[in-house]
Structure 1
């Protein structure tokens, strides 16, 4: 079985090195493995059944809707409104306007569900503004890279939808479970920024905004805050399904664009096209991973790996630490969606057998997958910041290194204190 696993890894890496799309690489790896090692399986019937089964879960309908909502808000120029609205309130804190990266990312994460989109929309405005005011460039890039990962953790989250479908967990409960960890991680980022700037003494002289400027700031972020309240209220009170919640979000995003005077047919068409491309990419990854995971099941690989790990006699906490290291390593080569759909059939039975709640594991996996967004060579947040700054990936990765460490620390804290994820959804039951 080890030999087959090595063949699968080499084949998949070879396809990626040949610039084959991730979804097609996953599909081809599974197909070739079955053709070589299980040629008796009727591939045409098998593959079509896997594809259909991977795409029919109704919660997946919410995924393209949340993506469309995010793209509409990007087209509406939300980033500038977030910066102008938050700057008068955050400028005098230790760390100053660097906190806009964190708070802005937190707010946009609550209406997007995408880490890369969060990084792009906040960074497009914040990085030039912070540079013009003389803030530490390394910390500005690093805090943006780290805070952008909140797009995965704070609901609505695209990654959580995928986890919920595969793990057969309530997506609404997953969304609620992500609230406290998301806010806690944002607070941890802000604490680090405040301590760094205080100890280094590098903070520029803060502005002294008037109360009139602060009130204008509230007006700028008011529409977004209203959409967040509507989504989170419907989420917590359970008055809408996930798909209905996504539809409400799209309608709210269109209304925000109209209220801000940035609604146009051309902008909406561009947002729709980008949403279709992103949704198609994720759909292809889901299909490819479904075939690969089915191939693994037929070959007995998950059972063999689970048996090997069980034979190590690890304690539950040690198992979680091993999985955290495993996900951090995978994050160097794969995106978050691929990691979730590839590994969950193997890792979820292990952690549930160790006594962990699958709802908690969903939040833990999301935190672990967040790490993949800021680890080279395939860290999407790093690529987004590179496109905005022109800096090398190595430079941006070094800037993000402290936030990589904070993510690891937070994942361990989540394992020690599972109530961070389980308390709030417990109030719904």
Structure 2
């Protein structure tokens, strides 16, 4: 009863729409009172905020958010989509593939799936509709392409996983690169397969090779920031915190150079960064309270012992966890899923012999699917709103991409070295 009741309260509060942070704090507090008394709870409440927010790596979150805010002001994403379209427009599904590549590039300076989906919904969906794509296909491409930002550094999702798990954030960010590229290729291949029977090529003007090369100059800022953020981490020259600060500075300079960063835009970027960072900080503090409850009741220790005594293949348990994450993705957002599962599941996974960095990438990939599946499916709702496309059509449109992504996840489970190769070569 002491263990079950707090979990029941947590899921109930989440179901009725109570914010994640408050749900964690309330259910965790009740669990601590039931198991150890009110005095213990008071001690935890006095110490938890300080211990939760003094983690050095937490500084990467506001820096990466600020970097994304400055890049949003610069308006470079719109120009990048136009530049990529000039290279892909004459191939079947070229404009859709341009949207996918733009989504990957946006992920390299954003880290936010929802922001990427909103941006792609605004700039790429009208272009695809003008080329003859159905609203269902155009909107679903924008929604699914936004998910790439969850893996491509600087991924806030991977950073959050690192904070919860204690795994090296630098290694996690490096580990997301190859799977992020594979997700991009998987979505592009799916577009090509869907258009085999009904080819769609751009009816726009042809561009010379010189014009195409000239158009790519807009990619310079993306390459620069990616090099600062990821290159410095990979080579060991800078820590994730240092590279995030340099990335924010670089984005600030680019926004100034664009001529769009006035006083009001600067103030709004800073306010947005503070609000989002404060929200994430509150969630982390409340997650610590719930984590104390889990630790005190011995849930994780007992679960590890129980799983270790089972006479089954580790991959059978992993298959069960994959199904669990897919089901949770239907109802919960990524942060909620990570907070609820990682403290309990990760010790089990490592006890089974699986690498925690590899598992983090798999969890984020599974969460990519959750962010485009009903009834939560935040990316779908965002694109439906900005592109004025029925939600039902978009949920139907993403099904082929989900099937292909599940195949990619199976490949990464069968060959974990695909994920682990690049971080193993990093010089950090």
Within 1, Cα distance between the matches of 2:285 and 2:391?
A: 30
Aligned pair partner of 1:351 in 349, 355, 372: 349
Q: Does 1:211 align with 2:209?
A: yes
Q: Which residues in structure 2 correspond to 1:260-409 (within 5 Å)?
A: 260-409=258-407
Within 2, Cα distance between the matches of 1:358 and 1:105?
A: 27
* Of 25-34 and 403-412, the range deviating more from structure 2: 403-412
Aligned pair partner of 1:64 in 55, 59, 62: 62
Report the counterpart of residue 174 of structure 1 in structure 2. 172
Give the conservation status (yes or no) of the 8 Å contact 2:331–2:376: yes
User: Could you say if the C-alpha distance between residues 136 and 392 of structure 1 is closer, same or farther in structure 2, counting changes exceeding 3 Å?
Assistant: closer
Give the conservation status (yes or no) of the 8 Å contact 2:137–2:394: no
User: Could you say if the C-alpha distance between residues 309 and 383 of structure 1 is closer, same or farther in structure 2, counting changes exceeding 3 Å?
Assistant: farther
User: Could you say if the C-alpha distance between residues 268 and 40 of structure 1 is closer, same or farther in structure 2, counting changes exceeding 3 Å?
Assistant: closer
Q: Which residues in structure 2 correspond to 1:21-60 (within 5 Å)?
A: 21-39=19-37, 41-60=39-58
TM-score norm. by structure 1 comes to: 0.93
User: Could you say if the C-alpha distance between residues 20 and 99 of structure 1 is closer, same or farther in structure 2, counting changes exceeding 3 Å?
Assistant: same
Question: Structure 1, residues 62-112: CA drift from partner, whole Å, max 9, x if none?
Answer: 111101111111122233112111110111233110012210011111111
Aligned pair partner of 1:91 in 83, 89, 93: 89
Within 1, Cα distance between the matches of 2:391 and 2:2?
A: 34
Question: Structure 1, residues 364-411: CA drift from partner, whole Å, max 9, x if none?
Answer: 222122222112222221232122123343332222222222232222
Structure 2, unpaired ranges of 5+: none
Within 1, Cα distance between the matches of 2:337 and 2:318?
A: 16
Within 2, Cα distance between the matches of 1:201 and 1:90?
A: 14
Within 2, Cα distance between the matches of 1:10 and 1:304?
A: 19
* Of 248-257 and 8-17, the range deviating more from structure 2: 8-17
Give the conservation status (yes or no) of the 8 Å contact 2:100–2:145: yes
Give the conservation status (yes or no) of the 8 Å contact 1:160–1:174: yes
Within 2, Cα distance between the matches of 1:403 and 1:285?
A: 31
Give the conservation status (yes or no) of the 8 Å contact 1:99–1:190: yes
Question: Structure 1, residues 131-188: CA drift from partner, whole Å, max 9, x if none?
Answer: 1222232222222222211111111111211222222222111111111111111111
- Report SS of the residue matched to 2:194: helix
Deviation at 1:212, TM superposition (A): 4.6
Give the conservation status (yes or no) of the 8 Å contact 1:90–1:99: yes
- Report SS of the residue matched to 2:72: helix
Give the conservation status (yes or no) of the 8 Å contact 1:293–1:342: no
Q: Does 1:82 align with 2:86?
A: no
Give the conservation status (yes or no) of the 8 Å contact 1:360–1:422: yes
- Report SS of the residue matched to 2:195: helix
Give the conservation status (yes or no) of the 8 Å contact 1:110–1:151: yes
Give the conservation status (yes or no) of the 8 Å contact 1:50–1:290: yes
Give the conservation status (yes or no) of the 8 Å contact 2:3–2:31: no
Structure 1, unpaired ranges of 5+: none
User: Could you say if the C-alpha distance between residues 128 and 285 of structure 1 is closer, same or farther in structure 2, counting changes exceeding 3 Å?
Assistant: same
Give the conservation status (yes or no) of the 8 Å contact 1:102–1:144: yes
Give the conservation status (yes or no) of the 8 Å contact 2:140–2:394: yes
Within 2, Cα distance between the matches of 1:408 and 1:33?
A: 36
Give the conservation status (yes or no) of the 8 Å contact 1:136–1:202: no
Deviation at 1:123, TM superposition (A): 2.2
Within 2, Cα distance between the matches of 1:13 and 1:352?
A: 26
User: Could you say if the C-alpha distance between residues 406 and 62 of structure 1 is closer, same or farther in structure 2, counting changes exceeding 3 Å?
Assistant: same
Give the conservation status (yes or no) of the 8 Å contact 2:232–2:238: yes
Within 1, Cα distance between the matches of 2:266 and 2:188?
A: 34
Deviation at 1:277, TM superposition (A): 1.7
User: Could you say if the C-alpha distance between residues 96 and 5 of structure 1 is closer, same or farther in structure 2, counting changes exceeding 3 Å?
Assistant: farther
User: Could you say if the C-alpha distance between residues 85 and 5 of structure 1 is closer, same or farther in structure 2, counting changes exceeding 3 Å?
Assistant: farther
Q: Does 1:256 align with 2:267?
A: no
* Cα root mean square deviation, aligned: 2.0
Report the counterpart of residue 241 of structure 1 in structure 2. 239
Report the counterpart of residue 122 of structure 1 in structure 2. 120
